[in-house]
Amino acid sequence: MAGEEPVLGAKKKLRKLRKKIRKLEAELAQARSFTHAVSPLAPKGGFPDLPEIGGVSFSAVAAGVRYRDRLDVMLAEIAPGAAIAGAFTRSATRSAPVLDCQLKIGGTREGGAALIVNSGNSNAFTGKAGERAVAAIVSEVSRVCGVPEARVFTASTGVIGEPLPFEKITAQIEGLHAAARPGAIADAARAIMTTDTFPKGAAKEIVVDGKPVRIAGIAKGSGMIAPDMATMLVFIFTDAEIEQPTLQAMVLELTDQTFNNITVDSDTSTSDTLLVAATGASEVRVTAEDGPFREALHDVMRDLAQQVVRDGEGATKFVEVRVTGAASPQDARTHAMAIANSPLVKTAIAGEDPNWGRVVMAIGKSGARADRDRLQIRFGDILVAADGWVSPDYREEDGAAYMKNDELVIAVDLGLGEGEATVWTCDLTHAYIQINADYRS
Amino acid sequence: MAGEEPVLGAKKKLRKLRKKIRKLEAELAQARSFTHAVSPLAPKGGFPDLPEIGGVSFSAVAAGVRYRDRLDVMLAEIAPGAAIAGAFTRSATRSAPVLDCQLKIGGTREGGAALIVNSGNSNAFTGKAGERAVAAIVSEVSRVCGVPEARVFTASTGVIGEPLPFEKITAQIEGLHAAARPGAIADAARAIMTTDTFPKGAAKEIVVDGKPVRIAGIAKGSGMIAPDMATMLVFIFTDAEIEQPTLQAMVLELTDQTFNNITVDSDTSTSDTLLVAATGASEVRVTAEDGPFREALHDVMRDLAQQVVRDGEGATKFVEVRVTGAASPQDARTHAMAIANSPLVKTAIAGEDPNWGRVVMAIGKSGARADRDRLQIRFGDILVAADGWVSPDYREEDGAAYMKNDELVIAVDLGLGEGEATVWTCDLTHAYIQINADYRS
């Protein structure tokens, strides 16, 4: 018995410590929720002033899909004859709205079009009920807005596997239709947010033959973000006049250079949807070869893609991973993604630790070609490793000082060929764990 | 000016909150370091009593490779004629000791053999200096222990990219040789630990024709753990008599069923090394067809592999992911790994959230074949999802209660074919972030 007492004492102490941990964790979560109300990486200046796009009007409403008193349904009405292109998740378990949109892209261009989106519930993995919910929403939007069902696009984002209370949405269509106006895109951007800490918008204007052409887009997404897009919804509107197949090809190619090059947590959503609608209201015709329009659309897409990373769940660092000199473009991408997705690299960045050994590890594990002795690794402009070892000029203090920046570049040259890739990611922090260990409960 | 004051007040508040967060984080880290001194998932009863293996003796010493006053170098001396088999990381940036071992496996069986291992420094990505360090250690062990250089195997684990202070190791060889004895395997298990919270050992004894055959093994590893083994060192000794090619084939096959089926963080180390030495001291001959020996070796390997997961950095849950009914074994493995590596699945488990939607997401993104409407998901025995939706009998309370267990089974049946795979993983917690955001600094 005498021998038991110290053990009992230790057990009691342990229980007290565990209780203290729970208390500290709760306090910490609360303190963090104040300071991290908006991602520290959010673009300065808040939501940008987006131009109105001829032929598109917006409205949003708090329909109570999941939470009360926040905008959660948006409607965009698009003038007759618009070309609509799209890119979607490749997930094998994609949501009912995604399947419906995929059937409609490339179909008729006759009549007006509408886009209706809700947050709070993704209507994914909801069986046949999910399809019925989409059908009910599409039918009501078609009736109220006077557009063909084949031109009504839906998207849903939020919790997976719970029935979508679609009546809450259909009950709002008349109000949304009545309220729609060209200037309300900012409300739409807010209505599609889930764990996002800021609404995301980007725009670009070019002038062709003296006539302005405008592009404005909104996006949501902050977790479940990896190629094949992420829990990401992106809606872009332009007044350019363009053939649908031309727009579609351009959108797919640019998606590969932008949204498919970002990763927050390597997880891919069942709901990713990117839609681009071109109304033609500018009366400027864009062809496949059109450099300036393509470049402007690329800029808007890259800007929105980077904003999604900047709002990565718990992110405190925005990281560009640049791989050059790979044996092929595919190898470059494989290496870049292995680095960007490595939990050990991402936690080192969170800890402001210039732990280039973990970058070496990630390259080694990626499966793509690498030669230890030809590899060069840079943090920003600082040459960290070369010739199979730490660079003789590298000083740990320099690396440590560089890691304190909010925006980092990790550059790797493989020394093997011409393959290049750039991807964007963020660090992996306590806040990511917090957000995702609690999201549903 | 009047309008500025509330802003200044808010900024001051924010600074104070951030300071409070830092203080809370420090307190929390300290409280956690007490309670988590040993993983809550560690096998009950501490390090097992491992049998002595005829023909093998061990010693360990605190050589100060990186830290003071802890065992960090171990020596195993193996009697002449032992068969030695090995499996290694496939990383393209593997360490100098791994490259050296790979050259030696399958070589001469003449003469005694030795295994020398250090923790604290992995001697990986250390250029030509790394090769020189290996050569110096091998040469000294060969001289002191009187075994051929071709029979001296080395392994190193710890920080990547820093020169290995090999003189600290070579200075200890004479003392290690003098101290070596059959019963000291537990010291060896301690000497190879890095972020491990407990030493790992496992053993099995079988009787063949009235004669006992023993297998005893030790392992280290708790992070950078994913197929192609992990920062994992595994050393197994047996007194069976077996041809080297037979042992080698058996080891590779069993590695695929054990160590290659665990993942902590999807990161793969540059140093993974598994060596199995068979001394023949039992005078029991094992052939390729030998069921009982193979099964015993499998048990020891699986036990050690699971211990590595149980010591996964920050782990509070041990998770078995069982996939059945996949279109092929490869598809089953791809699905199982996608689930086991998903940060969103792992954080849900940490939060004891029965968020099966994330399991659906992981299956969807894996790239392997899946049909939403044939999928079945079980948490333990609880049928959660079937027919493309949540099971009608499933109650959230049941799922939530199940998730409170320390040991969980997530079972997925694809309903497509005969492909099966089982992998083991752990949850993703604050402690993982803590350990890895601070490991080097």
Beta strands in B4-111 (DSSP E): 56-61, 73-78, 83-88
Number of helices (H) and strands (E) in chain A: give both, helices first.
13, 18
Contact B348 A25 (CB under 8 A): no
Q: How confident is the model at residue B315 (pLDDT cuts 50, 70, 90)?
A: confident
Q: What is the pLDDT of residues B5-32, one digit of tens each?
A: 445 565 666 666 666 666 666 666 555 5
Distance CA A113, CA B29 (A): 55
Backbone torsions φ then ψ of B301, nearest 5 degrees = -65, -40
Q: Are B188 and B219 in contact (CB under 8 A)?
A: no
Residue B13: partners with Cβ closer than 8 Å, 6 or more residues away = none
Distance CA B139, CA B51 (A): 30
Give the nearest chain A residue to B339 (CA atoms).
Answer: A267
Q: Taking 80 as the threshold, does the pLDDT of residue A22 lie above it?
A: no
The pLDDT of residue B263: 76
Contact B27 A24 (CB under 8 A): yes
A367 chain-B contacts, CB cut-off 8 A: 92
Q: Are B200 and B222 in contact (CB under 8 A)?
A: no
Contact A17 B27 (CB under 8 A): no
The pLDDT of residue B224: 57
Mutation choice for A interface testing from B17, B121, B125, B162 by most A CBs within 10 A: B125
The pLDDT of residue B269: 61
Token readout for A120 is 């709070």
Q: What is the pLDDT of residues A120-161, one digit of tens each?
A: 898 988 888 999 999 999 999 999 999 999 999 999 998 888
B428 chain-A contacts, CB cut-off 8 A: 343, 433
Q: Taking 80 as the threshold, does the pLDDT of residue B267 lie above it?
A: no
**Ranges A330-334, B218-222, B411-415: which has the least confidence:** B218-222
The pLDDT of residue B33: 54
Q: What is the pLDDT of residues A174-197, one digit of tens each?
A: 999 999 999 999 999 999 998 788
Token readout for A356 is 């280039």
> Does A161 or B398 have the greater pLDDT score?
B398
Contact B433 A433 (CB under 8 A): yes
> Does A305 or A313 have the greater pLDDT score?
A305
The pLDDT of residue B259: 87
Backbone torsions φ then ψ of A267, nearest 5 degrees = -90, 140
Mutation choice for A interface testing from B372, B375, B428 by most A CBs within 10 A: B372
Give the nearest chain A residue to B386 (CA atoms).
Answer: A127
Contact A17 B35 (CB under 8 A): yes
The minimum CA-CA distance between A228 and chain B, rounded to whole Å, is 9
> Does A398 or A7 have the greater pLDDT score?
A398
The interface residues of chain B toward chain A in range 93-152, judged by CB-CB distance below 8 A, are: 93-94, 122, 124-130
Three-state DSSP class for residue A212 = strand
H/E element, B30: helix B4-35
Q: What is the pLDDT of residues B64-80, one digit of tens each?
A: 998 888 899 999 999 99
Contact B373 A92 (CB under 8 A): no
Q: Taking 60 as the threshold, does the pLDDT of residue B276 lie above it?
A: yes
Checking phi first, is residue A415 left (phi over 0); if not, alpha (psi -120 to 50) or beta? left
The pLDDT of residue B29: 59
Mutation choice for A interface testing from B24, B33, B93 by most A CBs within 10 A: B93
Q: Are B141 and B116 in contact (CB under 8 A)?
A: yes
Q: Average pLDDT, stretch B383-400? A: 91
Nearest CB to A428; choose among B124, B389, B433? B433
The pLDDT of residue A387: 86
- Catalytic choice (B170, B195, B231, B429): B231
The pLDDT of residue A312: 81
The distance of Cα A335 from the centroid of its chain, to the nearest Å, equals: 21
Q: What is the sign of the dihedral through the CA atoms of A424, A427, A433 and A438? A: negative
Contact B389 A432 (CB under 8 A): no
The pLDDT of residue A145: 97
Q: Average pLDDT, stretch B207-235? A: 77
| Amino acid making up residue A241 | E
Q: Which range among B10-19, B341-350, B379-388 has the greatest average pLDDT?
A: B379-388
Nearest CB to B224; choose among A91, A361, A429? A361
> Does B268 or B58 have the greater pLDDT score?
B58
Distance CA B306, CA B121 (A): 24
Distance CA B335, CA B417 (A): 14
Residues of A with catalytic roles: 231
Instruction: Judge whether B18 is closer than 8 Å to chain A, CB to CB.
Output: yes
Q: Give the Cβ contact number of residue A30 at 10 Å.
A: 13
Percent of chain A with pLDDT over 70: 87
Q: For residue A354, what is the DSSP state?
A: -
Tokens 């947590």, residue located:
A265
Q: Are A158 and A120 in contact (CB under 8 A)?
A: yes
The minimum CA-CA distance between A132 and chain B, rounded to whole Å, is 13
C-alpha distances out from residue A143 to A55, A63, A113, A147, A164, Å: 19, 19, 12, 7, 20
Q: What share of chain B is helix, strand, coil (3-state, %, to 5)?
A: 40, 25, 40
Nearest CB to A93; choose among B93, B372, B387? B372
Q: What is the pLDDT of residues B277-302, one digit of tens each?
A: 999 999 999 987 779 999 999 999 99
Q: Taking 70 as the threshold, does the pLDDT of residue A259 lie above it?
A: yes
Q: How confident is the model at residue B375 (pLDDT cuts 50, 70, 90)?
A: very high
Distance CA A152, CA B359 (A): 30
Nearest CB to B92; choose among A27, A32, A370? A370
> Does A433 or B233 have the greater pLDDT score?
B233
- On average, the pLDDT of chain A sits at 87
The pLDDT of residue B344: 85
Q: Are B79 and B112 in contact (CB under 8 A)?
A: yes
The candidate with the shortest Cα–Cα distance to A281, out of A318, A240, A224, is A240
Q: Average pLDDT, stretch B267-282? A: 83
Percent of chain B with pLDDT over 90: 57
The pLDDT of residue B372: 86
Q: Average pLDDT, stretch A396-419? A: 95
A389 chain-B contacts, CB cut-off 8 A: 125-130, 161
C-alpha distances out from residue A93 to A421, B28, B161, B399, Å: 28, 39, 42, 22
How buried is A45 (Cβ within 10 angstroms: 0-12 exposed, 13-18 middle, 19+ buried)? exposed
Q: How confident is the model at residue B38 (pLDDT cuts 50, 70, 90)?
A: confident
The pLDDT of residue B227: 40
The candidate with the shortest Cα–Cα distance to A155, out of A86, A239, A258, is A86
Contact A128 B388 (CB under 8 A): yes
| Amino acid making up residue B274 | L
Q: Taking 60 as the threshold, does the pLDDT of residue A272 lie above it?
A: yes
C-alpha distances out from residue B28 to A23, B21, B250, B311, Å: 10, 10, 46, 20
Q: Average pLDDT, stretch B354-366? A: 87
Q: Give the Cβ contact number of residue A381 at 10 Å.
A: 9
Nearest CB to A160; choose among B27, B265, B357? B357
Tokens 């630990």, residue located:
B193
The pLDDT of residue A231: 61
Token readout for B299 is 């048990």
Domains, chain A, in order of start with CATH, read: 56-310 (3.60.70.12), 318-438 (3.10.20.340)
H helices of B36-172, in order, are 96-104, 127-145, 166-170
The pLDDT of residue B23: 67
The minimum CA-CA distance between A222 and chain B, rounded to whole Å, is 12
The candidate with the shortest Cα–Cα distance to B250, out of B211, B284, B289, B281, is B289
Distance CA A192, CA A71 (A): 8
Q: What is the end-to-end Cα distance of chain B in Å, rounded?
A: 44
Give the nearest chain A residue to B441 (CA atoms).
Answer: A353
Instruction: Judge whether B176 is closer than 8 Å to chain A, CB to CB.
Output: no
Give the nearest chain B residue to A224 (CA atoms).
Answer: B344
A270 chain-B contacts, CB cut-off 8 A: 360-361, 364
Q: Which range among A231-240, A264-273, A317-326 has the greatest average pLDDT?
A: A317-326
The minimum CA-CA distance between A406 and chain B, rounded to whole Å, is 16
Distance CA B139, CA B133 (A): 10
Distance CA B361, CA A268 (A): 7
Token readout for A421 is 């890739």
Q: How many residues are given for chain B? A: 441
**Ranges A20-29, A125-134, A339-348, A390-399: which has the least confidence:** A20-29
The minimum CA-CA distance between A320 and chain B, rounded to whole Å, is 19
The candidate with the shortest Cα–Cα distance to A87, out of A333, A290, A258, A307, is A258
Q: How confident is the model at residue A388 (pLDDT cuts 50, 70, 90)?
A: confident
Q: What is the pLDDT of residues A66-86, one digit of tens each?
A: 888 889 999 999 999 999 999
The interface residues of chain B toward chain A in range 144-163, judged by CB-CB distance below 8 A, are: 159-162
Q: Are A240 and A282 in contact (CB under 8 A)?
A: yes
Nearest CB to B125; choose among A161, A341, A388? A388
H helices of B311-342, in order, are 329-341
Contact A430 B433 (CB under 8 A): yes
Mutation choice for B interface testing from A88, A93, A441 by most B CBs within 10 A: A93
Nearest CB to A429; choose among B91, B128, B433? B433
